[in-house]
Amino acid sequence: MKDDKIRIYEESQQIVRKSNDLIRKTRYNLTATEMKIVIYLISKLVATDKEIRKVNINIKDFCALINVQTNGREYEAIKQSVRTLRDKSYWLTMPNGDELLFSWIDFSYIQKRNGNIEITLSKSLEPFLLQLRGNYTAYPFREILSLSGKHSIRLYEYLRSFLYKGYARVSIQELKKILNIENKYKDWRDLKKTVIDPSIHEIRMKTFLDVSYEVIKNGRKIEELEFSINEAMGYQTSWLDE
């Protein structure tokens, strides 16, 4: 393995830590790349820190990490994703029921001479990312690197937060809120074919979660899904192991 590949492999093993409230109660609409940027930034945080610090991203390395071919346009693409993360805001329900309006990013600075971007996550997220004592989920950044669908990434984190229980029961309405598709897929068959089954398949094939689900009906109407969640056996390989 070359030195740069060793470095990228090591970065993929960094641990992502999020409070379960941040995972389960935040509603947002991000692309797969935007989610990977946020998750990468979180993986770079030191769990014992008292405040969020800036993170330096090298665009070339980051593209290699998320398996995106560099073709000269990646700089502008990452730049636009960072801008989107800074400009969009979302409501987060606090444990006491209050609501917090936040953006993922507080600050970004581009170093054009070396292709680096300095990014600082929102300070308002510190209670959900740092000095966590309980009610949080941790997983290697590597877990979501092979996932290409934004719904797959979002569903992976949600289900991962229930791994300790071995199951999660969620209404169709709530699941659509989590995936930010409340106004889409009115018919269960469309939701199943387009979102649920492809996401579950990708999670099972590319991560360490072994997930299945059963539908819960009220009469003839499907109202809830109950997911069975376990750790998969064996070792999931990716381009990082080549």
Residue 100: the pLDDT is: 86
CA angle 233, 234, 236 (to 5 degrees): 115
In terms of Cβ atoms closer than 10 Å to its own Cβ (0-12, 13-18, 19+), residue 240 is middle
**Cβ contact 195:185 at 8 Å:** yes
pLDDT of residue 235: 52
Supply the mean pLDDT for the chain: 88
- For residue 146, the model assigns a pLDDT of 86
Q: Is 88 left (phi over 0), alpha (psi -120 to 50) or beta?
A: beta
Judged by DSSP in three states, 227 sits in: strand
Residue 109: CB partners within 8 Å, gap ≥ 6?
Answer: 117, 118
> What does residue 136 show for φ and ψ, rounded to 5 degrees?
-140, 165
Strand order of the sheet with strand 167-171?
167-171, 221-231, 209-218
- Structure-model confidence comparison of residues 96 and 36, the more confident one: 36
Q: CA–CA distance from 44 to each of 113, 121, 142, 147 (Å)?
A: 23, 11, 13, 20
pLDDT for res 222: 93
Q: Which of 36-50, 57-71, 153-167, 184-198 is predicted with the least confidence, judged by mean pLDDT?
A: 57-71
Measured between alpha carbons, how far is residue 18 from residues 107, 128, 138 in Å?
Answer: 20, 6, 7
Residue 151 has pLDDT above 80, yes or no: yes
Host H or E run for residue 136: strand 136-140
The answer on pLDDT for 42 being more than 50 is: yes
* Residues 55-105: tens digit of each pLDDT: 988 888 888 888 776 666 777 788 888 889 999 888 887 778 888 888 999
CA distance 33 to 78: 8
Q: What are the backbone dihedrals phi and psi of residue 234, each rounded to the nearest 5 degrees, phi first?
A: 90, -165
Instruction: Give the residue from 204, 153, 207, 158 showing the smallest Cα distance to 30.
Output: 153
Query: What is the DSSP-derived secondary structure letter of residue 131?
Result: S
Instruction: Give the tens place of pLDDT for each residue, 214-241.
Output: 999 988 899 999 999 999 875 555 545 5
Tell me, what's the pLDDT at 239? 45
- Global pTM reads 0.90
Q: What is the pLDDT of residue 91?
A: 84
**Strand 116-121, strand 105-111: pairing:** antiparallel
Mean pLDDT for the stretch of residues 178-184: 92
pLDDT average, residue stretch 43-65:
88
The answer to whether residues 85 and 105 touch, using CB atoms and an 8 Å cutoff, is yes
